Amino acid sequence: MPTLPWTVPNTPPAGADVHVFASRFETRTFLGAVRFLMRTAGVWRQVGRAPGAYGASLKAQPFRRTFWTLSAWESAEALKAFAGGGVHAPVSRGLAGEMRDVRFASWTTSSDELPVRWEEAARRLR
């Protein structure tokens, strides 16, 4: 699966502060990676409809059992509402046991700096 390009569900106002969130997931097994991939479409659809979502991308390397997400939000509260509801909540709980390593990073930037570069996310996830 190639990287899903930066998608903009809601256009942010110019010069606004945005909450950026990056994650890295490594599954324990190849089967765990397949399970992760199978659930990606539903979560991706949810992102596309999420209030306060200003952009998102997904990078998948299933043969390495590794996945990255990168997203920008109106606020930390908008991200929390997304993560705690819809398809995302049960999917994340259901996949928790499949994970070998999980990393998260969040920071604030200007909407004028979107889309966030993958290099910046990787640096912050180290």
Residue 2 clears pLDDT 80, i.e. is over it: no
Phi first, then psi: give them for residue 109, nearest 5 degrees: -145, 180
* pLDDT tens digits, one per residue of 9-23: 999 999 999 999 999
* pLDDT tens digits, one per residue of 79-119: 999 999 999 999 999 999 999 999 999 999 999 999 999 99
| Distance separating alpha carbons of residues 103 and 67, to the nearest angstrom | 11
| Distance separating alpha carbons of residues 85 and 53, to the nearest angstrom | 14
Residue 43 contacts residue 90 (beta carbons within 8 Å): no
Output DSSP code: residue 80. H
Q: For residue 118, what is the domain's CATH number?
A: 3.30.70.100
Percent pLDDT > 90 in the chain is 98
Q: Give the pLDDT confidence score for residue 1 in this predicted structure.
A: 60
Tokens of 16: 């606004």
Range of the domain at 33: 4-125
* pLDDT tens digits, one per residue of 33-66: 999 999 999 999 999 999 999 999 999 999 999 9
Domain total for the chain? Answer: 1
